[in-house]
């Protein structure tokens, strides 16, 4: 009987698996987003399972205990659908209908491995030889499944991002940013997984040469787990589609300009929790009309409209000589974060807030020196215009 060898490969994968299981337990206990968080916890357990055969294999477990062959740890076909189901549950507040159907192929893979695992030891080798093509097929299918579900997830995330920007002015607060990065990480993992699977199918790489793939999977899994845990209590708004029913005779541009003037005069944009429904109520209209006035009349979604007004207020304060820290001024104007403030200010004035402040200071200095007429365009845009 061969002894066990705990080398660096086993050590790295053991740390990753332990952390994934700890993160899964913590995320599953989060009180908010229960459907989404439990789906993510299951995904992390599945990813830990994908790493487990390699973690124990490098240590010599399969050589010492042959009965572990075909132990159903690695259900690779579950990774893609669980990632998609997590995203859908997070942005919709519930799992989609017929969610269980998406777990059918993983169930088949589990049944295949389970059947082999339950065989007596002498029959395991024969089962492995007879089903080698099926095993390779599962790995190819897993890579294809990950790609298809990643594309579906990106489309769902894009739709939600557009809807969120149409409803909320603080859309940057929610999980769409990190979910976008998670989808990017998935698209990085996908070609690595595909290349390794294809290479191994054409010319078997051997146990040790596949370590790069499993380190990539471990890094991806830990990123998803840590970010999912950080955002576990952040509840995303549940959004309904804004009605786009025809309203003949409406001058959306005129309505948009009139409502923009009313919002600017009332200072409603400084409310950091301002939503499309709240603003429509204050204006005495409905969300469908307000959305069309902004989108068709002004060419802006709700988030861009409100954050543009906030940027104008910050610019007004800078022109008035407000010497406070830029972030303090931005928070007073209703911005929820420095990132959203910088992005909105640049979109409105084609300048960073700090550069705008320097231009204001330069203009004041020129004015004091009697040179104002020599530099009539010191400010790129008149605030509040």
Q: Tens digits of per-residue pLDDT, 240-276?
A: 554 455 555 678 889 999 999 999 999 999 998 888 8
Please compute the mean of the pLDDT values over residues 51-61 and round it to a whole number.
91
Local structure of 275: helix, strand or coil:
strand
Predicted pLDDT at 20: 96
Banded pLDDT at 376 (limits 50, 70, 90): very low
Residue 125's closest CA among 170, 69, 42, 87?
69
So what's the pLDDT on residue 248? 59
pLDDT exceeds cutoff 60 at 309: yes
Can you list the domains of the chain with their CATH numbers? 8-230 (1.20.1070), 252-374 (1.10.10.60)
* pTM, 2 dp: 0.76
Q: Using 50, 70 and 90 to split pLDDT, how confident is the model at 381?
A: very low
pLDDT at 79 over 60: yes
Alpha-helix residue ranges (DSSP H) falling in the chain: 8-28, 34-58, 61-64, 79-92, 104-117, 121-130, 132-167, 176-202, 211-230, 252-266, 276-283, 287-292, 302-319, 326-332, 338-349, 353-368
Confidence of residue 106 (pLDDT cuts 50, 70, 90): very high
- Per-residue model confidence as pLDDT tens digits over 113-160: 999 999 988 888 888 778 777 887 888 899 899 999 999 998 888 888
- Say how many C-beta atoms besides its own lie within 10 A of residue 357's C-beta: 20
Weakest-pLDDT range from 182-186, 335-339, 370-374: 370-374
What is the per-residue pLDDT for 247?
56
């Amino acid at each position: 009987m061969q002894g066990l060898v705990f080398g660096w490969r086993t050590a790295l994968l053991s740390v990753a698996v332990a952390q994934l299981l700890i993160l899964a337990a913590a995320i599953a206990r989060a009180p908010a987003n229960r459907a989404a968080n439990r789906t993510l916890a299951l995904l992390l357990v599945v990813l830990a399972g994908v790493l487990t055969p390699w973690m124990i294999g490098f240590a010599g477990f399969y050589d010492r205990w042959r009965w572990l062959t075909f132990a159903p740890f690695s259900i690779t076909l579950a990774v893609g659908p669980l990632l998609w189901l997590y995203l859908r549950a997070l942005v919709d507040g519930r799992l989609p209908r017929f969610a269980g159907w998406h777990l059918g192929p993983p169930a088949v893979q589990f049944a295949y491995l389970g059947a082999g695992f339950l065989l007596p030891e002498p029959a395991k080798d024969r089962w492995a030889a007879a089903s080698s093509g099926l095993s390779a097929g599962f790995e190819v299918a897993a890579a294809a499944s990950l790609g298809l579900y990643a594309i579906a997830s990106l489309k769902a995330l894009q739709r939600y991002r557009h809807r969120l920007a149409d409803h909320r002015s603080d859309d940057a607060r929610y999980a769409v940013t990190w979910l976008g990065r998670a989808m990017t990480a998935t698209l990085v993992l996908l070609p690595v997984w595909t290349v390794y699977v294809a290479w191994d199918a054409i010319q078997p790489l051997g146990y040790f040469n596949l370590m790069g793939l499993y380190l990539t999977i471990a890094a991806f899994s830990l990123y998803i787990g840590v970010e999912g845990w950080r955002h576990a209590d952040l509840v995303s708004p549940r959004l309904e589609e804004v009605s786009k029913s025809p309203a003949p005779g409406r001058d959306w541009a005129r309505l948009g300009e009139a409502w923009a003037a009313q919002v600017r005069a009332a200072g409603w944009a400084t409310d950091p929790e301002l939503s499309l429904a709240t603003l429509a109520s204050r204006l005495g209209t409905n969300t469908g009309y307000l959305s069309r006035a902004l989108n068709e009349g002004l060419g802006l979604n709700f988030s861009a409209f409100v954050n543009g007004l906030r940027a104008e207020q910050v610019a007004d304060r800078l022109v008035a000589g407000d010497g406070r820290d830029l972030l303090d001024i931005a928070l007073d104007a209703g911005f929820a974060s420095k990132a959203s403030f910088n992005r909105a200010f640049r979109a409105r004035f084609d300048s960073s807030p700090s550069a705008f402040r320097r231009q204001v200071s330069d203009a004041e200095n020129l004015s004091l020196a009697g040179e104002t007429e020599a530099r009539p365009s010191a400010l790129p845009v008149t605030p509040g215009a």
